[in-house]
Structure 1
Amino acid sequence: MATLGNKQATVSGNLMSPKYHCEKCDYKCRKKYNWELHLQTIKHNTINICQNSAETSKNWQKLAKNVIYCCENCDKEYTDRSGLWKHKKKCDNINKSEINNIEMQKHNLELQKQNLELHKQILEICKNLQPGSINNSHNHSHNKTFNLHFFLNETCKNAMNISEFIENISLQLSDLENIGKLGYVEGVSNIIIKNLNALEVTQRPLHCTDKKRETVYVKEHDEWQKEEENKKHIRQVISNVVSKNMKLLPEYQSKYPECMNPESKKSDEYNKIIMESMGGGMDVADKNKEKIIKKVTKEVMVEKEE
């Protein structure tokens, strides 16, 4: 007998029994012609569709129970949407900060390479200058260097190293809030200048001897040295201030817990503080650092006696 279950049919050897049997419809017949007509009936096809739909629905229900919600930032897995949503509120801020720090480091490295290439070009130009002009310039610079040498190594011999200055910079929550109010340039500049002004002139770790050319001398490893063109040490001071500011964010969150609510006013202030603390945006971060360097060098100008 032909049976229609999971398969179309099986043929029985008993001539008296029906050749074809549809188990789903409980239909039996001996003639193939009648069997083919049955396969085309509405009843047969409706039962097949319903059974397939039921099986599909069960499969989807099983899959739905096994759905895992994954954080695209850190790959942590959660069994429901609410757990993932709570996690992402914290994870997004951390991830953005880490990404911005990496981008800033890459950008600074590229600038250092460009400055090195520019320095090579300047040296090449200097080689082509007339010998007389080089000698006159050298003698003139030598006289200035002599006076500066005395000022740095005698008058300012007890000045602290720039690394000690960086280590001793202390910040308060008000400094972090001011960066949000005043912006990156004014906020960071005020912090550095405030800490420099707290020292006697002879104790300061850096001095500017030429405002126009921004010639700066820095003390490090107990020795005075001319700052590089890219103002590496001053940039380190700026980066340290930014880092210490970021460490104050948990204190801000503790004082103003409503800042974690996206609909609150404090949330807007909190986001602005983060943006300004990171340089005001990647597209202007380096320009803003140059502005800070100008403000700082202006405050540490050496008063020369003619």
Structure 2
Amino acid sequence: MGNFGEKNMFRYFIMFQKNPAAEIQNVYKCDACNFITGNKKDYIRHERTKKHGRNVSPLVSFYPSPITPPPEPAPEPAPCDDKCKFVCKDCNKNCISRVTLWRHRKKCQPTAPVTEEPPVENTHIMKEMIIEVIRQNNQQNAAFIENFTENFTEKFMEKFSEMSKQQTVVTNNMTMNNNNTVNNQFNLNFFLNEKCKDAVNLVDFINSLQVQVSDLVNTGKVGFVEGITTILLDKLRDLDVYTRPMHCTDIKREIIYVKNQNVWEKENDEKTHMKSLVNIIARKNLEQISKWAEQNPDFMTLDSSAYNEYIQIGMNSTGGTVEQQEKNIDKVVTNILKAVVIDKQTERMIASNSAS
């Protein structure tokens, strides 16, 4: 550090010797580094050196820099003239050259666009438009549901009859030894064709099932799976074990028998009959929306309790997207199978007592 100070003192001495008449206006001295100069730029350059940073860091609170100038206000942009042909797209600043614009764009902060709130009149008009769209959608949905239900039911009945001819049927012509129920063996043929011979057909069960507005409201509250399951189970509970149109013999493998055209059939792996049953009941439930709308005329008023309930009913009663509908229908079918499982132990006991 001493050599550095001597060199600077020597340079300062030479400068004074060349012009002894000149008055030294400013002397810039760094005591921490033993540095002295009469040139402000040299002093600033010295302050940026690593050596100065190491020497002055513990003394900075006692030896503040004598030449730190106050911050100068930013110059106001010059008014644009013919030369200002380059304008920043982000802040609209005028630049005199492409290079100046390029340098400015590197530091420019885009100004956030000002969003204007729509006037009250437009908001009112928009609200009326939304209400009109909802009203038109309700009319279209009602017509769609009516046409869809008629076509779906008709096609379902045709498919139902066609499948009955193709599937393996458990008929009354099977060799049944109703007196051969030995010990703990469960005779499925005897159970279905003798004990359940008075069971209703699945089609008759569907036609007799009446859905109420309360069922629709409940579906809106609890969701598609629980709502449709409740409707079907309530109807099945009205029938005893031997008159219901379906029986599950194996809940793990989901084996089920349904009665169609007075004949018991084993359901296929796709569970076509059961899924069609769930679809028809779901459509019957959705048809109640028109009656619900009559009971709640203010459902078209935005943000009203009836409007919020209408949205919830619409979302839960349809079952969601196509993928969600398939999953929800499978869940309903599983719930029904659990409710119609045959109690083989009880039936074996009854058969054993009858045989004895």
TM-score range, shorter chain: 0.5 to 0.7
State which of 134, 137, 158 in structure 2 corresponds to 1:89.
Answer: 134
TM-score (ref. length: structure 2): 0.48
Q: Shift of residue 91 of structure 1?
A: 2.5
**Residue aligning to 2:279:** 239
State which of 202, 222, 236 in structure 2 corresponds to 1:182.
Answer: 222
Residues of 1 paired with 2:185 and 2:296: CA distance?
53
**Residue aligning to 1:121:** none
Larger relative contact order (C-alpha < 8 A, sep ≥ 6)? 2
**Residue aligning to 1:27:** none
Residues of 2 paired with 1:146 and 1:172: CA distance?
40
| Alignment CA distance shift 1:83-1:145 (3 Å) | farther
Q: Shift of residue 280 of structure 1?
A: 3.0
Residues of 1 paired with 2:319 and 2:139: CA distance?
16
**Residue aligning to 1:278:** 318
| Alignment CA distance shift 1:94-1:280 (3 Å) | farther
**Residue aligning to 1:3:** none
CA displacement 1:236-270 (0-9 Å, x = unmatched): 22112111112211111111111122221211111
Residues of 2 paired with 1:202 and 1:153: CA distance?
10
**Residue aligning to 2:235:** 195
CA contact (8 A) 2:219 2:313 kept: yes
**Residue aligning to 2:191:** 151
**Residue aligning to 1:173:** 213
State which of 266, 284, 295 in structure 2 corresponds to 1:255.
Answer: 295
Amino acid at match of 2:136: C
Matches within 5 A, 1:261-300: 261-300=301-340
Residues of 2 paired with 1:96 and 1:303: CA distance?
44
Deviates more, 1:257-266 or 1:224-233: 257-266
CA contact (8 A) 2:285 2:317 kept: yes
**Residue aligning to 1:54:** none
Larger CA Rg, structure 1 vs 2 = 2
Matches within 5 A, 1:95-174: 95=140, 98=144, 147-174=187-214
SS at match of 2:239: coil
Amino acid at match of 2:134: K
Amino acid at match of 2:189: H
CA displacement 1:87-109 (0-9 Å, x = unmatched): 5322324556859x98xx9xxxx
**Residue aligning to 2:83:** none
In the TM superposition, structure 1's runs of 4+ consecutive aligned residues that sit over 2 Å from their partners are 81-99, 280-283
Amino acid at match of 1:214: E
Q: Percent identity over the alignment?
A: 36
Q: Shift of residue 171 of structure 1?
A: 1.4
> Which runs of 5 or more residues in structure 1 are unaligned?
1-80, 106-143
CA contact (8 A) 1:253 1:260 kept: no
CA displacement 1:181-223 (0-9 Å, x = unmatched): 1100000001001101110111100000000001000000100
CA contact (8 A) 1:275 1:281 kept: no
Residues of 2 paired with 1:145 and 1:174: CA distance?
45
Residues of 1 paired with 2:134 and 2:314: CA distance?
15
Aligned alpha-carbon RMSD (Å): 2.9
TM-score (ref. length: structure 1): 0.55
CA contact (8 A) 2:131 2:301 kept: no
Amino acid at match of 2:285: N
Residues of 2 paired with 1:177 and 1:191: CA distance?
12
Residues of 2 paired with 1:174 and 1:85: CA distance?
28
Amino acid at match of 1:89: I
Amino acid at match of 1:90: R
Residues of 1 paired with 2:252 and 2:265: CA distance?
19
CA displacement 1:151-207 (0-9 Å, x = unmatched): 000000000000000001111111110000110000000100110111011110000
Larger proportion of helix: 1
Amino acid at match of 1:209: T
CA displacement 1:3-55 (0-9 Å, x = unmatched): xxxxxxxxxxxxxxxxxxxxxxxxxxxxxxxxxxxxxxxxxxxxxxxxxxxxx
